[in-house]
Structure formats: structure tokens, C-alpha cells
Structure 1
Amino acid sequence: MEREFIPLSVPNIKGNELNYVTQAVKDEWVSTGGSYIEMFEKNISAYLGVEQAAAVQSGTAGLHLSLIQSGVGLGDEVFAATLTFIAAVNPIRYVGAEPIFMDCDDSLCIDPDKLRQFIEEECTFKDGILTNNHTNRQIKAILGVHVFGNLMDMEKLMDIAETYNLKLIEDATEALGSYYTQGKYKGEYAGTIGDFGVFSFNGNKIITTGGGGMVVAKKKEDLDYLKYLSTQAKDDTTSFIHHAVGYNYRMTNLQAALGVGQLESLETFIATKKANFELYKEKFEQNKAVELMDFNPTIRLNYWFYALVIKEEVDIQALIKTLHGKGIQTRPIWGLIHEQKPYLTAQSYKIEKASYYVKHILNIPCSSNLQQEDVRYVADCLNEIL
């Protein structure tokens, strides 16, 4: 019997999703109005322990709106990670600002120590304004990413943000369900600590609405205005009066109906992904050529993506092709953003660890419906090759 192809990360839709989506269709509320949007916002808020949330069309849209509401605009600068998906950086350009690319630490998240070093050595802070001495531009925000469900060092980053009057936007698009179990922010979820937190429900995320995202914020007035901008800035819906430039960024009721069903299964998904992670770890234990990257022990993880560190220099693309021939989908980590054509002129600072990891990490199958026999097969194939 031929083995089924094992994908990298695919949706797990086996709960009440079809019932809810069918009801939305029956109610004929399929666009950006309908009860499921408010229900999804309410349920996410309750899960995260925040007052409210705003459902948007994508995580990218959420980042764009968060930057606008953070006061970032033409000629400003934003600290950003180079080791991430490019969607976490492009919204900086949407608002006419420029990124300053920072290295990662061993969590793969933005390195707060290097960030502080850059500020102390390369910037001037006066009258509440942080200025980049190299460009004479004001730096207004940190846009950091919780990579693969791991959490950034929020204690250090929040201290930097508060000291230098910077907004902190958490790209939590990969980290729904991860929270701190120790330290200053014990019990607080990814996305709920900074000024804004943005989540994604793309097809490969831990829960999905096909597309779509969600934004939370520290200040209610910020989130209210963000939601206003996401619905074309309607001041008077009867007379079509608009006092700001708005966006068509609201989530649809069909997407939200799917999300309501997915959220009901989130903790089950996390438990499955944790069990599969532990099995992978056990299977790779005797292989000295590889190491399954562990997560921060001070957090409860969502185990979204698994990163296999290959210690020797290998041809990652050739390895991916070999595994595909064995019915296994894998992928390299993202290309560094400061090396991408649109960002070659952007400033970067002491990029070292990110350059190492981009050559040594392979992402392996991690779907929440991945069976343990498939985990064993993937690990056995990799152990045989490496």
C-alpha cells in the first residue's frame, strides 16, 4: 500500500466548523457583517483574557493598521526582524516608513540585547524622541515576531520600549495560545503585552479561517479607531460620510464562522502538536548531526512549527527534494529580509545568528492532524539521510 504524502502544515477542520459556516450561509450573512464576526472577536478576547479584539482580513492588514495607530508614517523608522516572513515587514513600507533590521537570538526572535546596543551606540534620545544618528530619522516602534510559537523576550523589549518612548507591536501571527509561565508576564498570552498584538488565521496557522487575522490593543480607544479604519472609516453609514482614509480590512462572516469552530479545538491542537514534538525529539535524540530546536522553558507553547537544526553544512534544497521523493514536504526557513531586493538599501545591524540559522534550519511536518506513525516515518527518513 502506497504511503500518503505528508504535508508540512495543513488545516484540521473536524469540529463544528461546517455547521457554523452552513448557518452563516443560511442566514445570508456572508460578507463583513453578521453575528459570527462579533462572536469570534468575543471568543478570542475571552481566550486571551483581554477586553476586546478586532477581526481583520489578514495578519498583514492587522500590522498595517497597528502601525498607523502607532503614529508611524512617512520618513519614520521601525526596528524589525530580518529572520521572519516578509509579510511582517512590508507594512512598514505601506506607511512610508523604513525598517532597521535586527539580528535574532537563539529563540529565532529579535535579539533585545543587540537592539539596546544599537540604540546606545547609534542613536540619540532627547525630549522623548529617539533619533537614528545614521539617517537623522525618528525611530517610533519595534515590530517583533514571536517566531514559530516561541515568545520574544518581552521583559527586555518592553523595558526598551518604555525607556525610549517606542510603540511595541507584537506580531503574534504564529503564536496564538503561547503564554508565559514565569516572570513578570506570567499568565499573559502572546500578543497581549505590547501596545498591539496581531494574529493570523492563514491556512497553515494553528487555527485557520482560510485567511483573516485579529488585532488586540492595550488601549480601548486605539482598538476602536483601528476597527473604524478597517471598515472604510464610516462616520455616517446612511449619508456616506468619511472623516479619514479607511480600508477594506474587515473579516467576513463566513471566515469568522470557520474561526469560531476552529477556536473550540485550539487546546486539542496544541496538545497534539506537543505530543508530536516530543516524539520527534525522542527520535532525533541519538542523531548527533541534528537537533530539534527546543523552545523557551518559561512559556507554555503552541508548538506551531518545528525547526530541525542541521549542524553541518548541507544543501538544504537538495535535502528538501530528496524528502519530497519520499513523500514528505519540508521547507527551509525564510530568506533574510535585509537580503531581499526591496530592502537592500535598508539599514541592518550586526546580523550574525540569523545568517547561521537560515543555512541550517529545516522545517518538518507539524500539522495538528499529523499521526504519530507519520512522525516516526519522517524522523526515520531524516535519520537515515543525515
Structure 2
Amino acid sequence: MIPLSIPHLAGNEWTYVKECLDTGWVSTAGAYVSKFEESIASFTGSRHAISCMNGTAGLHTAMNLLGIGTGDYVLAPNLTFVATLNAISYTKAEPLLLDIDPESWQLDLDLLQRFLTSDTYGKAGVRYLKADDRRIAAIMPVHVLGNMCDMDRLLAICRDHDLPIIEDSTEALGSTWKGKHAGTFGTFGTSSFNGNKIITTGGGGMIFTQDAVLADRAKHLTTTAKTDPLDYFHDEVGYNYRLVNVLAAIGLAQMEQLPELIQYKKRMDAFYRAQLSGVGDIQFQQITDGVDPNCWLFTFRTARMRELLTFLNDRGVQSRPFWTPMNQLPMYASLRYVTERNHASRVHATAISIPSSSGLSEAQLGEVVTTIREFYHA
């Protein structure tokens, strides 16, 4: 089986983890947590990076720090991994879904602009939905597959309409818009280090912010709101969202390899695009002008997605369909969905992800391409 997206552990992972085991610093205390945070902050240019147990916890923390809760809306794309909406739901806020651009698969900014202009109003620096006068507390753009939308335009729209931005940049570590890293545009950004991401800690996440006060609050909230290093005194309801030292050790070793991993992903992306261009009805994700993506997981569209999916998996080429749109899931089916042509549904019905692991050999990449061509030429 040629795997879809597995970790590439080829650096100092064993050395750093062994040090944790040898010294006994395997839990939430230990030097590797701060080293990992500092490495991520330095790489992305974020002033502050706060580690946590996963990307979902990072999103949840960000919303708590913005005071988002019962009765609020949070704008989010209809095509995303379910964790985006789950994190909103944890706060008792309600996701308000937006359709995507059919070419880039990012938030449709034209649609967003029309919606905010016609269906919302501002009062005292707060945005409200006209239909029910409820607050729209934030927008959560998702950098799908490491691509990004026109961030200059998104920032301008959000400034004009008093909308804080929480970036779900969990797939986009290393992606940039005009040289600025994903996750560093909004009030908060997040990263995920799940086993299938461009770097991994097995499980883990990171919260980005440029605000020192918010950074201190994020660290406090994610470490059970403990106020005293000796006494167990907690001054509010906090969360045990801490990243443990042994996983941070893996993360630091992975960060040392990240530039090399990104370059590999870009070569893989270029190879697939060159070799599959003109094959069958394949259509590629369009990269937004100004974006330098990390090329995390190669995904394309074809009307024969389901047939191709079965064909590839039966032949040992692990492939997966794209996420089910949020409004097609039972717990989110009744949400308000802002759309004109429902592009999210069309992309989902035709998109397939193919092997994109950083450790794939040229022979394996060639086998993936050969198998896809065999399907279309059969």
C-alpha cells in the first residue's frame, strides 16, 4: 500500500525523545515545550506561539479568549474538516456557513462581501445579522490544503465590518501570502500537528497571536488557569489543553526538517500537476495569486471520483474523498448557509486526495501516476 499521508521521521526525533525518557521529563513540564514554541514562532514570524494538545483545542481557546458564546454566530466555510465547526459548537455559539470559491476552494470573498453588505449591520463596532439581531462575533477562514484566499482583501472586508479573524491554519504551516505566514494575520491563528500534517507531534497544536496579553491569557487558560507554581490555586475555569514534553520533543525535531519537507511537497505537487495534466477530466485546485502554499495534500477534481477512489484503493494506492460539507452532516444540517450555487457540494462530490507523504520515493510517485492513467485509459 502506498500511504496517503504519513509522518516523515528522519531527524532527531529518537534523540530528543530518548532524552525525555532518560531524564523523566515526559509530561507537561520540560524544556522541549518552550523550545518547540520558540521554534514555531521564529519560523512563522509570529510574536507569540502557545502550544496545546491539538488544533481543535487551539480554535476553542481562541474563541473563549474573544468572549464568543451562547447566541453568537461565527462565520465559517461549508467545506472544511468537522473540527472547525465542532470548536465553534463547544462555545455554544452557532456556525454561520459560507460557500467557497469553486477554483481555489477557499472562502468566496465576493459572496462574503455581498452577504455582509446586504444581510448584516454594524452598531458600536459590532456586527449583527439583520434576520435576528444576533451578534456575528468572528470569522474563521480555513486555509484549505495549505492554499489561502486573498488575505489583503479578507482583512479589508473584516476591518470594514468589525469582524475579528480566527485563522484555521491547521493545514497551512509554511504557507505564505506575499511572504507573510498563514496563521499570523488574524487576532488568532492555529496549527495542527496530527500524524497526517506536514510536520507532526503525533497529536498537538499551536495558537498564534501578535498580542502579548492574549498570549499570556492563552497560556493561562490552556494550563488549567493555575495561578501559583506551588499551590493548586486556579482563578477561573481553565482547560487541560497542555502539550506534553515528549511530543514537543518530536515537534522540535520535525521543525528542524520543515524547510526540506516543504520543498519536497512542492516538487511532488509540480510532478503530479505535470504528469496528470490533460489526463481524463482531472482539474487541479487553483492556487490564489500571492500564495506560496505548503502543498500539504495533493487533491484534484474528477467527475469519476467514486470510481477512481475504488480503483486506486483496490490497487494499493491509498486515496480518500474530500470532507463532507458541514450542512450535509446531521448535527449541522439546519445551520444557515449563505450560498448562490453551492460550490462546496460540487467540490466534495468530485475531489479526491492521493498519496502525498513526504517520504514517498520517485518510484512510488510514478506508480501513483501510472495507476491513475490506467484508470482513465481503460
Residue 9 (1) aligns with residue 5 (2) = yes
| 1:342 counterpart SS class | helix
Q: How big is each residue's C-alpha offset from its partner over 1:201-256, in whole Å with a ceiling of 9 and x where there is no partner?
A: 00000000000000111211111101100000011243322111000001000110
Q: Deviation at 1:301?
A: 1.7
Question: 2:134 is matched with which residue?
Answer: 137
1:367 is aligned to 2:364 = no
State whether residues 280 and 292 of structure 1, in contact with CA within 8 Å, keep that contact through their aligned partners in structure 2: no
Number of the residue aligned with 2:367? 377
Q: Quick one: distance in 1 between partners of 2:288 and 2:114?
A: 23
Q: 1:205 to 1:192 in 2, by over 3 A?
A: same
Question: Matches of 1:304 and 1:285 in 2, distance apart?
Answer: 19
Q: What's the TM-score once normalised by structure 1's chain length?
A: 0.94
Is 1:23 the counterpart of 2:19? The answer is: yes
**Would you identify which runs of 4 or more consecutive aligned residues in structure 1 move more than 4 Å?**
none
Q: Secondary structure at the match of 2:79?
A: coil
C-alpha separation in 1, matches of 2:231 and 2:364:
58
1:177 aligned residue (174, 181, 206): 174
1:127-180: CA deviation from partner (whole Å, max 9, x where unpaired):
212111223210010011000010122112111221122110111110000112
- Tell me the equivalent position of 2:72: 76
**Distance in 2 separating the partners of 1:203 and 1:126:** 44
Which amino acid is 2:81 matched to? Answer: F
CA distances 1:263-303 after superposition (whole Å, capped 9, x unpaired): 01111111111111111111112324213324234222211
- Does the Cα contact within 8 Å between 2:47 and 2:209 map onto a contact in 1? no
CA distance in 2 between counterparts of 1:309 and 1:192 reads 30
The C-alpha deviation readout for 1:306-340, integer Å capped at 9, x for no partner, is 11111xx32x3343222111110001110000121
Q: 1:125 & 1:286 partners in 2: Cα distance?
A: 48
In the alignment, the residues of structure 2 paired with residue 47 and residue 256 of structure 1 have an alpha-carbon distance, to the nearest angstrom, of 16
Of residues 149-158 and 236-245 in structure 1, the stretch that sits farther from structure 2 once superposed is 236-245
Is the counterpart of residue 64 in structure 1 residue 60 in structure 2? yes
Higher mean displacement: 346-355 or 209-218? 346-355
Indicate which of 54, 76, 86 corresponds to 1:90.
86
- Equivalent residue number for residue 337 of structure 1: 326
Q: Which runs of 5+ in 2 are unaligned?
A: none
What secondary structure does 1:214 align onto?
strand
Residue aligned with 2:5, SS: coil
Q: 2 CA distance for matches of 1:202 and 1:246?
A: 23
Moved more, 128-137 or 170-179: 128-137
Q: Is the 8 A contact 1:149 1:303 kept in 2?
A: yes
Tell me if 1:229 matches 2:221: yes
Distance 1:219 1:162 in 2: 17
Equivalent-residue separation in structure 2 for 1:286 and 1:374 (angstroms) = 21
Q: Is the 8 A contact 2:47 2:210 kept in 1?
A: no
Code of the aligned partner of 1:323: L
Tell me the CA shift for residue 382 of structure 1.
1.1
CA distance in 2, matches of 1:52, 1:124: 33
Q: 1:347 aligns with which of 311, 314, 336?
A: 336
Percent identical = 38
**Which sits farther off after the overlay, 82-91 or 229-238?**
229-238
CA-CA distance at 1:381 after TM superposition: 1.2
3-state SS, counterpart of residue 269 of structure 2 = helix
Q: What is the SS of the residue equivalent to 2:117? A: helix
Structural RMSD (CA): 1.2
| Residue 164 of structure 1: aligned partner | 161
Q: Secondary structure at the match of 1:101?
A: strand
Q: Residue 292 of structure 1 contacts residue 306 of structure 1 at CA under 8 Å; is this kept in 2?
A: no
**Are residue 190 (structure 1) and residue 182 (structure 2) matched?**
yes
SS in 1 for 2:172: coil
Indicate the SS of the match to 2:165: strand
Q: Aligned with 2:295: secondary structure?
A: coil
C-alpha separation in 2, matches of 1:369 and 1:257? 20
CA–CA distance in structure 2, aligned partners of residues 288 and 7 of structure 1:
23
Are the counterparts in 1 of residues 13 and 253 from structure 2 also a CA contact under 8 Å? yes
Q: Is the CA contact 1:145–1:152 (under 8 Å) kept in the aligned structure 2?
A: no
Structure 1, 66-75 or 235-244: larger mean CA deviation: 235-244
Further displaced range: 300-309 or 140-149:
300-309
Compare 274-283 and 210-219 and name the one that shifted more: 274-283
Number of residues of Structure 1 aligned to a counterpart in Structure 2: 374
Q: Which amino acid aligns with 1:317?
A: R
What residue in structure 2 maps to residue 287 of structure 1? 279
Contact 2:77 2:141 in 1 (8 A): yes
Amino acid in structure 1 at the alignment position of 2:185: I
Does the 8 A contact of 1:284 with 1:291 survive in 2? Answer: no
Partner Cα separation in structure 1 for residue 251 and residue 90 of structure 2: 27
Deviates more, 1:290-299 or 1:278-287: 290-299
TM-score normalized by structure 2?
0.96
| Aligned position for 1:183 | none
String of CA shifts for 1:82-103, please: whole Å, max 9, x gaps.
1010001111110110011001
Q: How far did residue 50 of structure 1 move?
A: 2.1
Q: Which amino acid aligns with 1:364?
A: I
